[in-house]
């Protein structure tokens, strides 16, 4: 029982801006969960049955994936327990989510093929570069993330926003904005 409480405390500390050294003994449970997730994701990617994919993802994620949400394989995640996915979400082929810092995807979001969402980064200082700096990614309702886009740690993509194909988003995207480029910049406002 004591070990379980220790593991819960370890997991609760993860989503923060403080550098985390995952090689320390207190993070053994995280490495164990990563290994379990990788095994489950391998099973998911070998399936062509959307119901089975949904069932496996419901085990990987902290909450069950609702029936109105569709994920096309292959799909990749390193952890899964810090990803929340809403209703009527569509995630296309070959997406990759690194979620130790947390990923929230609200209802009605569309995510194109080969999108990368990472809530994990590394310090600039080479002495501690093998540590992680975590920053939650939040994609708000009805956003559309175009093919091949990359969303970096700490970014919020606003409601109804569009991220153009191939964009690299390193700053928050306002509601109703269309952003594109590397780094992504506001191209125009929807309805404006």
pLDDT per residue as tens digits for the range 146-157: 999 999 999 999
Please report which confidence band the pLDDT of residue 171 belongs to, taking 50, 70 and 90 as the band edges. Answer: very high
| Residue 112 main-chain phi, psi, to 5 deg | -75, 175
Active-site residue, from 21, 23, 64, 122: 122
Q: What's 127's DSSP letter? A: G
Q: What pLDDT shows up at residue 48? A: 86
Q: Do the bridges between strand 103-105 and strand 120-121 make them parallel or antiparallel, or are there none, so unpaired?
A: unpaired
Q: What pLDDT shows up at residue 19? A: 77
| Average pLDDT for 165-192 | 96
Segments forming the whole domain that contains residue 31: 2-189
Cβ atoms of 184 and 173 within 8 Å: the answer is yes
- Cα separation, 39 vs 12, in Å, equals 23
Q: For residue 52, what is the domain's CATH number?
A: 2.160.10.10
Lowest mean pLDDT among 25-29, 114-118, 157-161: 25-29
Helix, strand or coil for residue 5?
helix
Angle between helices 50-60 and 28-45 (to 10 degrees): 180
Cβ atoms of 82 and 62 within 8 Å: the answer is yes
| Average pLDDT for 84-88 | 97
H-helix segments, the chain: 2-13, 28-45, 50-60
Please report which confidence band the pLDDT of residue 17 belongs to, taking 50, 70 and 90 as the band edges. Answer: low
- Does the pLDDT value for residue 1 go beyond 80? no
Higher pLDDT, 20 or 162: 162
Average pLDDT, the chain: 90
Q: What pLDDT shows up at residue 151? A: 98
pLDDT per residue as tens digits for the range 98-147: 999 999 999 999 999 999 999 999 989 999 888 889 999 999 999 999 99
Active site residue 122: yes
Residue with tokens 């988003």: 169
- The encoded tokens of residue 89 equal 């979400």
Cβ atoms of 145 and 163 within 8 Å: the answer is yes
Split into its structural domains, the chain has a count of: 1
Is this prediction's pTM over 0.75? yes
- Cα separation, 144 vs 159, in Å, equals 9
Please report which confidence band the pLDDT of residue 3 belongs to, taking 50, 70 and 90 as the band edges. Answer: very low
């Amino acid at each position: 029982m004591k070990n379980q409480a220790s593991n819960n405390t370890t997991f609760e500390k993860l989503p923060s801006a403080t550098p985390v050294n995952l090689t320390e003994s207190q993070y053994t449970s995280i490495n164990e969960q990563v290994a379990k997730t990788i095994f489950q994701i391998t099973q998911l990617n070998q399936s062509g049955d959307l119901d089975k994919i949904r069932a496996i993802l419901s085990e990987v994620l902290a909450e069950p994936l609702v029936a109105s949400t569709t994920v096309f394989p292959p799909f990749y995640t390193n952890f899964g327990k810090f990803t929340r996915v809403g209703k009527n979400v569509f995630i296309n082929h070959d997406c990759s989510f690194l979620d130790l810092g947390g990923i929230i995807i609200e209802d009605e979001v569309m995510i194109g093929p080969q999108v990368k969402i990472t809530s994990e980064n590394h310090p600039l200082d080479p002495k501690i570069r093998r540590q992680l700096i975590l920053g939650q990614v939040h994609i708000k309702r009805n956003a559309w993330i175009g093919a091949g886009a990359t969303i970096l740690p700490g970014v919020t993509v606003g409601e109804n926003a569009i991220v153009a194909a191939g964009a690299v988003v390193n700053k928050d995207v306002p509601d109703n904005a269309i952003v594109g480029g590397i780094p992504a910049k506001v191209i125009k406002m929807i309805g404006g």
